[in-house]
Amino acid sequence: MTAPSDRAVRDEPLACPSAPAQPGAALLAIVGSDGHLAHLSPPIPIDEAFVTAASRHGAPEARMRFTAPCLEAGCAQWTGSSCGVIEQVLATGAHEDQPERLPRCGIRSACRWYRQEGGAACRACPLVLTDGRDGT
């Protein structure tokens, strides 16, 4: 088995690491009692039953992180050429206090944020919780 070519990696669909909880998405991480993310590897696909059950306790996105294909221009966070979420988080500098070692991740090779911003995005990733009320 050979590694994918650079072109194949660039052509694969990118994954949003902060998608809303909806059927077809996958559970990427769970927020622990200490506020840190516990990443699942690989992410676990979710269905309508999961979303319904998880929603009984408030917005699932407040307690879990989900991944789905990046919608690019179909997403309110798209700037026209990149994801504005990770740009805003990195602009705060909060990620600079995070450990240098990148957190475990089940989507890094296809992650929109990693592809866009590199390791800084991975260090900032645990600081992001999706607000499920507005679908972003």
Mean pLDDT of 106-122: 95
Q: Is 117 helix (H, G, I), strand (E, B) or coil?
A: helix
Looking at residue 3, its pLDDT comes to 41
Residue with tokens 């690989």: 42
Q: Note if the pTM is more than 0.85.
A: no
Mean pLDDT of 98-122: 91
Phi and psi dihedrals of 42, rounded to 5?
A: -85, 165
Output the average pLDDT for the chain: 86
pLDDT, one tens digit per residue, over 59-86 is 999 999 999 999 999 999 999 999 999 9
Q: pLDDT: is 87 or 13 the higher one?
A: 87
Mean pLDDT of 34-56: 93
Looking at residue 11, its pLDDT comes to 63
Nearest by Cα to 113 from 94, 126, 97, 100? 126
Looking at residue 100, its pLDDT comes to 84
DSSP string, 26-81: EEEEEE-TTS-EEEEEEEEE--HHHHHHHHBTB-GGGTEEEEEE--GGGSTTB-SS
